[in-house]
Amino acid sequence: MVQADLEKLVHLWFSTHRVLRERVQSDHKLDPMSVVRMETLRQVADNPKISMREVAGCFGIRPSSATSLVNGLVKSGDLSRRHDPRDRRVVHLTLTLRGKKNLQRTRRIMQAKLSGLLSSLSEKERQSLLSIFQKLTLPSYKR
Which class for 53: exposed (0-12), middle (13-18), buried (19 or more C-beta within 10 A)? exposed
* The predicted structure's pLDDT at residue 24: 67
The pLDDT score that the predictor gives to residue 107 is: 85
Q: Report pLDDT for 45.
A: 94
Q: Is the pLDDT of residue 115 over 70?
A: yes
Instruction: Spell out the domains of the chain, with CATH numbers in brackets.
Output: 31-115 (1.10.10.10)
Q: What is the pLDDT of residues 69-101, one digit of tens each?
A: 999 999 999 999 988 888 888 888 999 999 999
pLDDT digits (tens, 9 = 90+) for 117-130: 889 999 999 999 99
Residues 6+ apart with CB under 8 A from 31: 25
pTM of the model: 0.72
Q: Are 129 and 115 in contact (CB under 8 A)?
A: no
